[in-house]
Structure 1
Amino acid sequence: MTNATGSLLTPPLTSDEQFNQPNTPIDLSGQTAPKPLLARPLSDSESSYFLPSRENGVNDMYLHIGFHAPKGVAPRERAVLVWAILRMRHPLLMSNVEMRNYDDIQFVLTPPASVAHALEDARNNFDASSRSKDDLIDSFLNGPRTLSNQRLSYLYFSVPDDAGTSLPSPPLTPDPGSAKQIESYVACEWIICATHFLGDGMALHQFANDYFSLFGSSKSDDELVAIIQDEWAMRWKQIPEECSVIPLSMEARFPPVVGGRFRRAVEQIDFARNQEKSIGGHAFPRTSGKSRHTIVPTVPFDATETAKMLKLCKARGVSISSVMFAICNIAWIRLNKGNPELPMMMYSALNMRPYLIANKSLHESYWFLAVGYFNVTLPGFLPSSNVDKTFWHRARSAKDQSSQAAKSRMVVSRSRLMSIERGQRARGWAKEDDTKVNGTWQAPPASNKPKSSKPPSIATLGLSLLGNLDGMYKHSAYPDIQLHSLTTGSRQRPGGMLLFAYTFAGKLWVSFGYDENGFEEDTIQNFWDNVLSGIREFLLV
């Protein structure tokens, strides 16, 4: 099987020999006829992510979690059982995409005809191996595309070939009064991959927690099989026609527009004025001529350092997220690469789920795309003295701008109109890309219009600020498993760049995903060094 560019997809598992435990028996009796196809159109926001992804998987997401598990608690077959259960609960994970034209793109789902079919589907989108985390992530980011229009999600599960090898110091201490003594642990790697038009970071992390809550539970494999059978009987044996099986898009969940023509005019004016505020004139110097190669250097700060930083931020009335805007602002200015008279603009994602009307369908799922966008603009210069005071002032400015974006009465209308604009732009670029591939593209005629006098609107970089992820991961729900590390990112276009910051397992993690062949090497490395030194300078005083 190949994707649209002809590159080989990751081959599905077909042999039971690839698991270190025998297959749990599945009752193949009672096979039913194939279910009818279910479909819904992609929204503008979903299309704006789908269309650029067609050639090489731009924005395909991954979430990696490293964990320690007691020997015998991490069989790969158990991993498949949980994967199958959650795929049935979240229909978009099982769906395909069909594109008829730029305005007619649909999610298409063939419901599993039986429990056996559901398990087979899970196996075909699962990779069991002993590969290292770095190998798996580099392959996903820079190798042939793992996902495709026929494979919107995929799970990697890696355990050592010698699963009996124990860690030098067991990370968990068993209860002395427990009859079950844990003798050794194995180090495992878990990576969920999904297209971005399928969901967002909130979906990824909620899914990971749900996965480990089942995988690390006290339920036996036989009990997991019983759950699979119950899920299929409840959700897929009979599908009510009136039931919206495929989760609705963000746009379909927005509150209805009220107020008629005047209200719509007000929203248009507000949207235009808000866009006019997006002023920025700083950008990293780029290079060309080399193939894209994304790297994601990641630095964790230990629990003691993290606690100290969080305490300081709280005392100053800001969060780590707000602080990271100020850190990046000063890190950039110290490179002396931009015009100090122009402001520096950074963008970030806004979680839109709190603003949506819930879909009360029987098959409700959190797997859908629900993000908006906002900008933070800070000065492009530093005073000659009292930089510490300036830093905290800019962190508070970033907090105020973020709050204004999230709490604005117009947040829904701005997101709705931005989705429409992004969809229109994506369709225009997709048509142009396709004509270039087909050799029919023609450059537009030269324009005699005078150049615009509007100020520049250039974003220096994007920040993905995930907050305290320990609030989403219920570690106590899987006590025999210790989640110890987390990294996340996406396949990028040439010259892509995104900085992540979050707390997980009691530590602050900062990672920088960028195309190392797309920028001046010294500039980007010095910026990253400035970010890390700035964290220590301002937060570990």
Structure 2
Amino acid sequence: MGRFVDVADPVLLTPPLDGEDLPAACVGVSSNEPSKALGALFYERKMGDTELSYYLPSRQSGVNDMYLHLGFNAPDHLVGHSRVRTVWAILRARHPLLSAHVQMYDYDDVRFVYRVPVSPDDVLRDAETSLEYRTQCKAELIDSYLNGPRTLSNSRLSYLVISHGEEDPATSLLTPPRTPSPSYESLKSTAALNNEDGLPHSQFDILICAMHFIGDGMALHTFANDFLGLLGSEKSDAELEAMLHAEWTERWQDSHHDSSMLPAALEDNIPMTWSKLRSAAATVDFQMSQQKLIGGQAFPRRKHLERRTIVPTISFPEDRTKAMLKKCKAKGVSISAALFAICNVAWARTSDGSKELPSLMYSALNLRPYSTVKRPSLRDSYWFLSIGYFNVILPSFVSEDRTRAEITFWHRARQAKEQSARAAKHPLLISRTQEMAKERGARARAWGKEDDEKEKGTWTPPTPSANTEPPREPVLPARAKVPSTALIGLSLLGNLDGMYKHANFSRIKLHTLTTGSRQRQGAMLLFGYTFVGRLWVSLGYDENGFSEGVVDKFWTECLQAIEEFLG
């Protein structure tokens, strides 16, 4: 049964930039099958539960809208508007969710709508509407994205900003470490000196923006590598334009269109065969696993009308990074596991509260290796959401004796490693992921409806159930209720130099990477990764959402713990 799709619903959309073209009305269907309207071909599919859990909270202020900033030096001609637009268009043609739109019918019926481009020029025109050149420095780019008006909307799921500006040292996001580390200016200068083509290089900043419900960190960094690989390639502008024509011809003029056009939702990429018994067992296992999550530590918060996210960031020189990696390896852990222990020790030394309950920290789990659905190569986009979650629980105390503290630190790091590995290799990971998706989806729908009704002034508190049936016998044994408060989230990206193939764009010299997302009030997330041979640690948080000075003290303790234990 077809229905009218108005992809430009003004109630849900952030007003587009001047000149942004909204898609024409189209007739939609309930699957990936194509439909035609006004001479155009459209595909649409419903969002899965995990996508909905990110979409519904994002509607008002862009919570979780992702960004990736890269600072680099390159010859000016490689970053010209025409060349960038062509590369941006090629990749948008390969990855349809980047240029799709969203239409919401109901809280459990939200759809991606993709209009098939009618020509290569059509792809270019579409790319132009989501591309902007600026003259802002890195700090201004990131601050405007995180704290200014929302960049993305239902009709703009991705956006690209190129800036040719100079960094203002007074607003730099790089926080000087306790031991000397090259500044942002010296990083730029070093990168500029490493050019081999003899051409003058200029400083550029790029900001890649995307909704979280169309992808995750893996998609974002893979995309950035592909983008730089094309931009910094030996291909001329004319050859890149010919490549765009070939892409469009292969995908839309010569290929057979089928239901695999749009990437599948997470839950469909890791399907399970559900018998009644298996479904019941999965529910019980999930509930029991959730009961094991005990956390009683939290940063003291305060109420503030305005959210303001800041991202203090520090990087360590290559020689120190190598020494840290070597020390972690000798202790049998990774940098990622060590960062859990760093946060654990920093909190133990910061908090003045009770130490009886442990600290619970959460992180994302890449689920792409678990996908069992194979797609045709022509439709094999990596822009889709595929993350789960796991938790690390550690004691909230640490000895004041330095020797004992170091022994405790490495023990906690090994505990973090074991808990992370156990989550990734658990035999019931897929069923737990499916159950978590159901729970997150249901919660997001309920909260989304409540938020909308409160905004309209029509919300009423739920009344006690009038159900007179006797309560069911509980499935699980009775247990004392315990808190499951999360202290902090960690986004541990690992060695990004394994994802960025620097040799493929040798004329572009990367020197800086910062990533994150727009946050809700009172949110906090620590990032850790290695990039261009350096360890980077950043803390994105709402500086108005916490008691004054408490996060500054925690961040200082984190840096001191890195100095003390990692060297």
Given the two structures, how large is their TM-score scaled by the length of structure 2? 0.86
Mapped partners of 2:381, 2:224: distance in 1: 14
Q: Which AA in structure 2 matches 1:313?
A: C
Task: Give the 3 Å change call, closer, same or farther, for CA 369–44 of structure 1 in structure 2.
Answer: same
What residue in structure 2 maps to residue 28 of structure 1?
none
Q: Contact (CA 8 Å) 2:13, 2:155: kept in 1 or not?
A: no
User: 1:243, CA displacement in angstroms?
Assistant: 4.0
User: 1:509, CA displacement in angstroms?
Assistant: 0.4
Task: Give the 3 Å change call, closer, same or farther, for CA 473–266 of structure 1 in structure 2.
Answer: same
Task: Give the 3 Å change call, closer, same or farther, for CA 190–338 of structure 1 in structure 2.
Answer: same
Which of 217, 227, 234 in structure 1 is aligned with 2:243?
227
Q: Contact (CA 8 Å) 1:172, 1:482: kept in 2 or not?
A: no
In the alignment, is residue 209 of structure 1 matched against residue 230 of structure 2? no
Q: Which AA in structure 1 matches 2:416?
A: A
User: 1:193, CA displacement in angstroms?
Assistant: 0.4
| Structure 1 residues 123-172: Cα deviation after superposition (integer angstroms, max 9, x where no partner) | 000001222111111111111110000000000011249xxxxx766634
What residue in structure 2 maps to residue 264 of structure 1?
279
What residue in structure 2 maps to residue 348 of structure 1?
363
Task: Give the 3 Å change call, closer, same or farther, for CA 96–7 of structure 1 in structure 2.
Answer: closer
What residue in structure 2 maps to residue 95 of structure 1?
100
User: 1:10, CA displacement in angstroms?
Assistant: 4.1
Answer with 135-144 or 210-219: which moved more. Answer: 135-144
SS of 1:413's equivalent in the other structure is: helix
SS of 2:487's equivalent in the other structure is: strand
| Structure 1 residues 491-522: Cα deviation after superposition (integer angstroms, max 9, x where no partner) | 11111111100000000000000000000121
Answer with 313-322 or 64-73: which moved more. Answer: 64-73
Which of 309, 332, 339 in structure 2 is aligned with 1:294?
309
User: 1:446, CA displacement in angstroms?
Assistant: 7.7
| Structure 1 residues 381-402: Cα deviation after superposition (integer angstroms, max 9, x where no partner) | 1234310000000000000000
SS of 1:203's equivalent in the other structure is: helix
Q: Contact (CA 8 Å) 2:13, 2:153: kept in 1 or not?
A: no
Mapped partners of 1:6, 1:125: distance in 2: 15
Mapped partners of 1:42, 1:174: distance in 2: 45
| Structure 1 residues 197-230: Cα deviation after superposition (integer angstroms, max 9, x where no partner) | 0100000000000000100000000000001100
Mapped partners of 1:290, 1:266: distance in 2: 44
Mapped partners of 2:420, 2:67: distance in 1: 26
User: 1:242, CA displacement in angstroms?
Assistant: 2.7
Mapped partners of 2:40, 2:255: distance in 1: 9
User: 1:380, CA displacement in angstroms?
Assistant: 1.3
Q: Contact (CA 8 Å) 2:195, 2:509: kept in 1 or not?
A: no
What residue in structure 2 maps to residue 143 of structure 1?
148
| Structure 1 residues 13-39: Cα deviation after superposition (integer angstroms, max 9, x where no partner) | 89xxxxxxxxxxxxxxxxxx8432110
Q: Which AA in structure 2 matches 1:378?
A: L
User: 1:338, CA displacement in angstroms?
Assistant: 2.9
Task: Give the 3 Å change call, closer, same or farther, for CA 499–11 of structure 1 in structure 2.
Answer: farther
Task: Give the 3 Å change call, closer, same or farther, for CA 531–170 of structure 1 in structure 2.
Answer: closer
What residue in structure 2 maps to residue 117 of structure 1?
122
Mapped partners of 2:9, 2:139: distance in 1: 25
What residue in structure 2 maps to residue 164 of structure 1?
none
Q: Which AA in structure 2 matches 1:145?
A: R
Q: Contact (CA 8 Å) 1:8, 1:144: kept in 2 or not?
A: no
SS of 2:79's equivalent in the other structure is: coil
SS of 2:146's equivalent in the other structure is: helix
Mapped partners of 2:294, 2:235: distance in 1: 55
Give the 5 Å matches for 1:66-215. 66-160=71-165, 171-173=192-194, 181-215=197-231
Mapped partners of 1:193, 1:416: distance in 2: 28
Give the 5 Å matches for 1:17-36. 34-36=39-41
What residue in structure 2 maps to residue 57 of structure 1?
62
Q: Which AA in structure 2 matches 1:412?
A: I
Mapped partners of 2:99, 2:384: distance in 1: 13
SS of 1:73's equivalent in the other structure is: helix
Q: Contact (CA 8 Å) 1:469, 1:503: kept in 2 or not?
A: yes
| Structure 1 residues 521-541: Cα deviation after superposition (integer angstroms, max 9, x where no partner) | 21010001111111011000x
User: 1:251, CA displacement in angstroms?
Assistant: 0.7
SS of 1:55's equivalent in the other structure is: coil
Q: Which AA in structure 2 matches 1:478?
A: F
Task: Give the 3 Å change call, closer, same or farther, for CA 381–107 of structure 1 in structure 2.
Answer: same
What residue in structure 1 maps to residue 176 of structure 2?
none
User: 1:11, CA displacement in angstroms?
Assistant: 4.1
Q: Which AA in structure 2 matches 1:401?
A: Q
In the alignment, is residue 498 of structure 1 matched against residue 525 of structure 2? yes
What residue in structure 1 maps to residue 450 of structure 2?
432
User: 1:461, CA displacement in angstroms?
Assistant: 0.8
Q: Which AA in structure 1 matches 2:202?
A: V
Q: Which AA in structure 2 matches 1:251?
A: E
What residue in structure 2 maps to residue 392 of structure 1?
410
SS of 2:260's equivalent in the other structure is: coil
Give the 5 Å matches for 1:352-371. 352-361=367-376, 362-371=378-387
What residue in structure 1 maps to residue 49 of structure 2?
44
Mapped partners of 1:3, 1:307: distance in 2: 52
Give the 5 Å matches for 1:334-483. 334-361=349-376, 362-385=378-401, 386-445=404-463, 453-483=480-510
What residue in structure 2 maps to residue 526 of structure 1?
553
| Structure 1 residues 244-275: Cα deviation after superposition (integer angstroms, max 9, x where no partner) | 111111111114326x2222222222111110
Q: Contact (CA 8 Å) 1:468, 1:502: kept in 2 or not?
A: yes
User: 1:336, CA displacement in angstroms?
Assistant: 2.6
Structure 2, unpaired ranges of 5+: 1-7, 22-37, 167-187, 466-470, 472-478
CA RMSD of aligned residues (A): 2.2
| Structure 1 residues 82-108: Cα deviation after superposition (integer angstroms, max 9, x where no partner) | 000000000000100000011111000
Structure 1, unpaired ranges of 5+: 15-32, 162-166, 176-180
SS of 1:113's equivalent in the other structure is: coil
What residue in structure 2 maps to residue 275 of structure 1?
290
Mapped partners of 1:431, 1:266: distance in 2: 30
In the alignment, is residue 321 of structure 1 matched against residue 336 of structure 2? yes
Task: Give the 3 Å change call, closer, same or farther, for CA 66–2 of structure 1 in structure 2.
Answer: farther
In the alignment of these two chains, the number of paired residues is 510
Mapped partners of 1:344, 1:383: distance in 2: 16
In the alignment, is residue 240 of structure 1 matched against residue 256 of structure 2? yes
Task: Give the 3 Å change call, closer, same or farther, for CA 341–170 of structure 1 in structure 2.
Answer: closer
Mapped partners of 1:317, 1:289: distance in 2: 43
Given the two structures, how large is their TM-score scaled by the length of structure 1? 0.90
Answer with 152-161 or 517-526: which moved more. Answer: 152-161
Q: Which AA in structure 1 matches 2:533?
A: G
Q: Contact (CA 8 Å) 1:301, 1:508: kept in 2 or not?
A: yes
